[in-house]
Amino acid sequence: MAVRSDKNRGDAQQARATKESRKSVASKDSGKGSGKGSGANGAKERTPRRIVLAEAAGVAIALLIVAAIIAAIVIVGRKPTSTPMTSTGWVTPSDAASSATDAARTRVEATHTLDASGMGGTADFGSGQSITWTLSDSDAGPDVQYTNAMGGTVIGFDASYSLKSTATADDVRAILSSLPGGFTASIADDELTGWTVECSTSHDADDGASLATGVCSLGGHTLTSTADMQLYEPAQITAFVVDDGVQRIDRFVYDFVSDSAQQIDQYTMGGWPDDDLSAQIPEPGDGMRYYGLTETANSLQFTIMAPSRATYDSYIAQCTDAGWTAQATLDAATSFADRNGYTLTVEYVESSDAVLVSLGVISADSASATDSASATN
């Protein structure tokens, strides 16, 4: 009986020690609940503490496992991030057509900075390609200039500006009313605030060159001062760049709202066809670059890059040497006398630095009408 009594006392002491140890496992007072002495009873009192520590370690490990499982679930359930930034090349957005001629390819590392005026700055298309442009006052109004670092000849540059959110339709009317001739048109407010300022130039600029001047207009009305543009902020810039390596002209667009850049393959250079229609006129020579050639069963059209009127005069001479006779010339447009059932017109568009060439087949109906008119006269 004495042994059983001692055992009962030991069991009671062990239970009390276990309870106290759970309450004060981090306590510095290690004597609490174990001060009855050493020996068999002391060993019984120390055993529960080891059990509690083991239990605590087990709980901690379990918590870590649960946390890891939760983290894995979060990672798996997270939506994919956007296209990562890259340092070279183009990436095609998943919602864009795969062909660059159909849509756009976005260069994800595009960035921009604006100058002190907020109307000029630098648009960086990535991979060492950028455009820096400025606006300043001249006798003719705002003067647009740019520095080409696009890796090829720029044959056209445009900068568009949208109305700031703080401006109103009345502010736009005030600008237009101050221009020579005034502005009296009745236009709805929402339409008027949607007008953009368009600043453009089309003079050739070789890579690294700083040149080109242009004009800025609002709703077709030429602005007279950069002060007229204080209510506007950059919206987009566009550069037409010649890529001689692949015989193509690319249109680069930088959008300031989305802060993104796009390249759109606009025109293929060269590509002279070998058929009866193209054989009627000479392919532009003397180093001329032409693009946008389109051909149907009855017509052939293309554009020649023309930084000056000299290109126009040179192609007129080529056509004359090929047997065509200039019949009517109005300023910078020449119509040739019909030849072999074909009609030809060549026009120089100075504002676009381009020579437009159009060859057409004279239809039987047109020929009959011409003969009838001649007989009547």
pLDDT higher than 60, residue 344? yes
pLDDT higher than 50, residue 42? no
For residues 374 and 166, which has the higher predicted lDDT (pLDDT)? 166
pLDDT at 51: 46
Give percent of the chain with pLDDT exceeding 90: 43
For residues 25 and 363, which has the higher predicted lDDT (pLDDT)? 363
Residues 364 and 323: beta-carbon distance below 8 Å: no
Q: Enumerate residues 6+ apart whose C-beta is below 8 A from 275.
A: 295
Neighbours of 191 (CB within 10 A): 10
pLDDT at 270: 92
pLDDT at 126: 85
> Judging by beta carbons within 10 Å of its beta carbon (0-12, 13-18, 19+), is residue 123 exposed, middle or buried?
buried
For residue 102, name the pLDDT band (cuts at 50, 70, 90).
Answer: very low
Token pair for 34: 């174990």
Token pair for 129: 């390609």
Where would I find the beta strands (DSSP E) of 188-341?
197-201, 210-211, 215-218, 221-222, 232-243, 248-255, 260-268, 290-295, 299-305, 326-330, 333-336
Consecutive H or E run containing 105: strand 105-107
Q: How many residues does the chain have?
A: 377
Cα separation, 233 vs 120, whole angstroms: 9
* pLDDT tens-digit map of 146-168: 999 999 988 889 999 999 999 99
pLDDT higher than 70, residue 63? no
For residues 45 and 298, which has the higher predicted lDDT (pLDDT)? 298
pLDDT at 276: 94
* pLDDT tens-digit map of 165-193: 999 999 999 999 999 888 877 889 999 99
Cα separation, 330 vs 292, whole angstroms: 24
Region 306-326 average pLDDT = 94
Cα separation, 280 vs 341, whole angstroms: 10
For residue 298, name the pLDDT band (cuts at 50, 70, 90).
Answer: very high
pLDDT at 64: 52
